[in-house]
Amino acid sequence: MNCTETLAPQSPTLTPLGRLVVLTGPSGVGKGTLVKALLAKHPPLHLSVSATTRAPRPGETHGKEYYFLDRPEFETLIATDQLLEWAEYAGNFYGTPRQAVEAEIAQGKTVILEIELVGARAIRETFPAALRVFILPPSLDELERRLRDRGTDADPAIRRRLDHAQAEIAARDEFDVQIINDDFDRALEQMERVIIG
């Protein structure tokens, strides 16, 4: 009696899952500038483009810095579960479109989300394995100076941002890594160490 060996079918090679990095901190702390420098040095990193209902600032382009949407468009994304997270901040909605982020991670890419605290907390539930990084200002006085030097907000908006910043800074211990942006080059080097390895 002959016996034949049965071979189990080989499963296809799977692309290793990518990594999600959540980056947050108070408005004006320098998150955007740090991320731009990081992406310039490490092109394989992918920055997720958020959606917002706020008006574009001078030089900002739809689909590059943000997807600029009106309120009904944004509310449709919420209602149809097309956002990984969303929050209302300073009278405007901000959120992360789900499909693009999930596709990049499935392709093995490292995706960076530069988002607000409420969104970062929501992502903790959606992607518990995400690396969560909090960027801190050297002080609230320095943060106020940076916000004023930006020249994009009137005094009442700056006051609201500073009040909000105090609550955000109080949550810094919820994050895996904290980086103080007191010296740009040093802060960038710390980001590289924790994100690139």
DSSP 44-59: T-EEPPEEESSPPPTT
- State the pTM of this model: 0.78
- Measured between alpha carbons, how far is residue 172 from residues 51, 129, 181 in Å? 24, 18, 14
The confidence score (pLDDT) of residue 4 equals: 32
Report the distance separating Cα 35 and Cα 149, nearest Å: 20
CATH architecture of 19-195: 3-Layer(aba) Sandwich (3.40)
Low-confidence ranges of the chain (pLDDT < 50): 1-15
Pair 51, 115: CB distance under 8 Å: no
pLDDT, position 23: 95
> Which tokens in the block code for residue 87?
């929050």
Do you know the residue count of the chain?
197
pLDDT at 16: 60
pLDDT given at position 15: 46
